[in-house]
Amino acid sequence: MLFGTAIPNHYYQALSERMLTNGFFARMIVLESGKRSEGQEPRIVDLPSRIVSTAKWWADFRPGTGNLENWHPIPVMVEHTDEARNVLVETRQAAEVEYTQAEERGDAVGTTVWGRVSEQVRKLALLYTVSENHTAPRIEQGAVEWASRMSV
């Protein structure tokens, strides 16, 4: 994962059609902020203990067994509720409608972006879920609804 910031006019000017249609842009999550605030003086703030303990848990997390688990971890499956599955299906179907419309218009950027919406929603729902409960994650409807709002 990569986090970056940019001035909007330079960011959007730098996007070429090739960049927009090769999947790069569709894999990004672009968040626009409001007007820049006045700012503040830097200060040292202790991290909340929950964040420190959760970060340590993730740093120590080694799915699998044996001496190669650092290089060849065994993926952990995170299940979802039936309600979450229904929202995933609805979101995918809505994205497919948008994809078809973009395809009919000959909109290559639109098809690239709409073709990745389902994937983005699933990734964001998973991130939401493991942020909410890292030790026993289960994707629930609220996580998928949030992810869907972020993606479309």
pLDDT in tens, 59-81: 998 887 777 777 888 889 999 99
pLDDT the model gives residue 16: 84
Does 119 have pLDDT greater than 90? yes
Does 20 have pLDDT greater than 90? no
* Contact assessment for residue 75 and residue 63, using Cβ atoms and an 8 Å cutoff: yes
Band of residue 1 on the pLDDT scale cut at 50, 70, 90: low
Query: Around Cβ 33, how many Cβ atoms within 10 Å?
Result: 8
Instruction: Tell me the mean pLDDT in the region 76-95.
Output: 97
Percent residues over pLDDT 90 in the chain: 61
Give Cβ neighbours of residue 54 (< 8 Å, ≥ 6 apart).
134
